[in-house]
Amino acid sequence: MRSGPLHAALSAAFLALSLTPTDASSAASRINADAWRAPAQSLHPDRQIELLERKIGQMLVIGFPGTRADEVWSRRAISMLDRSRIGGVILFGHNVRNRDQLSRLTERLNAGGGPPPFVAIDQEGGQIQRLNRRKGFTRLASAKSIANGSLCDAYAAYWATARELARFGINVSLGPVVDLNINPRNPAIGRLGRSYGTDPATVVGFATQFIDAHATAGVLTAAKHFPGHGSAVRDPHHRVVDITTTWQPNELEPFSSLASDDEVAMIMVGHLIHPRFSDGTRPTSLSRRTLTEALRDDLGFNGLIVTDDLGMDAITERYGPEEAAVMAVRAGADLLIYANQKPDDGAFVDDVIAAIAAAAVSGRIPISMIDRAQARILETKRRLSFVPAEGDDTQPMSPAVAPIGGSFTAADVAAMTAKACRPEAEPRGDG
């Protein structure tokens, strides 16, 4: 925790503030509910601040440069995980050299004593896969290519990838993309082959194979990019994307289907502008109209709401990291992703936590929102903390205990597909 005038101000504010950490049921061994629960009136203000900041920290997922645990930013990330200062990390291609190196890195990331960290990665297939054949991993075709085959073929491909992620200590795959391919020239979706097609039912069918295969391997998934990015003409990595004139109502259908069936653990919100979803000129990722009203209230989604990377130009050209964080939490986000691709400030995590804490103490963010987000996060992390029956490959495997290394034969994949693939419907991709 950082000290100074802000810390003193927060301490003083807590003298008059009742902070009651969320109650949680007993479950996974690494999630100790007692560590997050204590009568507010019995705590010194400094301790109340510490508990609040730990809750906020669980809402942050950050990237870092480095491939070894002993490098500067790797040590920072590991230390923050060990102290529950952050809730997880996101890995990129620059973090991965080969299988042995990744095993050593993720083993250390997962070795802390706090709640199991989210160890996330973009492994959609095609052009978006951080673990690729050149580095010794299983090749995964793009969504567009997979949609030209059957649902069973899709399940087999995603099962092989999901098991590989689990074996290498990765427990969140930031997919599937459920954006409709309305604009094939879309630089962020269509041109990259990231969509299963234009028909919502087809998209849901193949996305469900992605989700189910990963769930069987103990890997969480995140459907993206709400409320639908497929019609856009620009890329939010470079600027904010206005979809006011291109977005179509049927783009909501895949999200609605997955949310209502509780199929997916997370839904990622894009950095988009649309009057139906934006609070004024704010991107959807920072808008209450999107996160709380559309996703929570209208669609009834009970899982984790995740922002797309808050370090994209669509955000940083308009807001600082602290301001964007406060806006996202106020809007209803549970997890805030910072890819941290240009790491020049080792204190940015502390600054973001301090900004959110100050907003909570001042009343700009209801502490009950942070409590609810923390409860959803810890409940989701409990799903990472079970151990499968020995020798039973059909049971989910916790990334924290999954064996490192190894590969699957064609016979392995065929056996898993026969047991778990759902062949009752076989839609074909529509482009």
Tell me which residues are annotated as active site: 237, 308
Instruction: Show Cβ contacts of residue 106 under 8 Å, excluding neighbours closer than 6 positions.
Output: 91, 119, 168, 169, 170
CA 91 to chain centroid: 11
From residue 141, give the alpha-carbon distance in Å to each of 192, 193, 194: 12, 10, 10
Beta bridge partners of residue 338, listed in sequence order: 62
328 touches 288 (CB < 8 A): no
| One-letter amino acid for residue 231 of the chain | S
Instruction: List, in sequence order, every residue forming a beta bridge with 266; answer none if it has no partner.
Output: 222, 304
Q: Are 57 and 2 in contact (CB under 8 A)?
A: no
Q: How far apart are CA 338 and CA 201, in angstroms?
A: 32
**Residue among 90, 171, 114 at smallest CA distance from 402:** 171
Strand runs (DSSP E) across 258-363, as ranges?
266-269, 272-273, 304-307, 336-338
SS3 for 18-72 is: CCCCCCCCCCCCCCCHHHHCCCHHHCCHHHHHHHHHHHHHCCEEECCCCCCCCCH
Q: 361 and 18 in contact (C-beta within 8 Å)?
A: no
* CA 263 from centroid of its chain's CA atoms: 15
Residue 221: CB atoms within 10 Å: 26
Q: What is the gyration radius of the CA atoms in the chain, in angstroms?
A: 21
Query: How many Cα atoms within 13 Å fall on the side-chain side of residue 244?
Result: 10
Whole-number Å distance between alpha carbons of 46 and 33: 20
